[in-house]
């Protein structure tokens, strides 16, 4: 990967990091609101649960983006954390924070769907 490509990915990742940090800081949607009506309380709880799930998803994405920026700094960006093969340029163009090549990501997704965690150690050390 050329220096120019790395710099482009770094800019994209830094912009995404800034965007995600703003989203994660805004926690107004998870505030507990009291309502006299039981139906309103259920609706507020449902909205709060959705906001918490979104916050969790955005926080995980922020961790992945920060990890990708660290990989740029240490020179390992573009290499799969599991099999050490090169991640395809098309995949990086679509998902610049991708830690795995497409084959390893598919395996991780399959195992996660089955309730197993194959790559926990790699992700923890990358994050």
Quote the pLDDT of residue 127: 47
Q: Domain span at residue 98?
A: 3-126
Quote the pLDDT of residue 25: 85
Which SS3 state, helix, strand or coil, does residue 84 take? coil
Backbone angles phi, psi at 16, to 5 degrees: -65, -40
What are the start-end ranges of the H helices in 1-127?
3-25, 38-74, 89-94, 102-113, 120-126
Name the domain count of the chain: 1
- The CATH number given to whatever domain includes residue 113 is 1.20.120.910
Within a 13 Å sphere around the CA of 74, how many CA atoms are in the beta-carbon half?
A: 9
pLDDT-based confidence at 39, cuts 50/70/90?
confident
Distance of CA 107 to the CA centre of its chain: 17
Least confident of 15-24, 91-100, 112-121: 112-121
Which SS3 state, helix, strand or coil, does residue 81 take? coil
Separation of alpha carbons 70 and 127, rounded Å: 9
Compute the average pLDDT of residues 63-67: 96
Quote the pLDDT of residue 70: 97
Least confident of 8-12, 14-18, 55-59, 116-120: 116-120
């Amino acid at each position: 990967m050329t220096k120019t490509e790395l710099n482009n990915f770094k800019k994209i990742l830094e912009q995404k990091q800034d965007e995600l940090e703003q989203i994660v800081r805004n926690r107004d949607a998870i505030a507990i609101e009291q309502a006299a009506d039981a139906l309103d309380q259920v609706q507020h709880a449902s909205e709060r649960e959705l906001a918490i799930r979104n916050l969790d998803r955005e926080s995980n994405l922020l961790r992945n983006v920060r990890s990708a920026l660290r990989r740029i700094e240490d020179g390992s960006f573009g290499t799969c954390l599991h099999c050490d093969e090169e991640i395809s340029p098309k995949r990086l163009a679509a998902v610049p924070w991708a830690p795995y090549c497409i084959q390893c990501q598919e395996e991780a997704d399959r195992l996660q769907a089955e309730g197993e965690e194959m790559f926990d150690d790699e992700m923890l050390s990358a994050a």
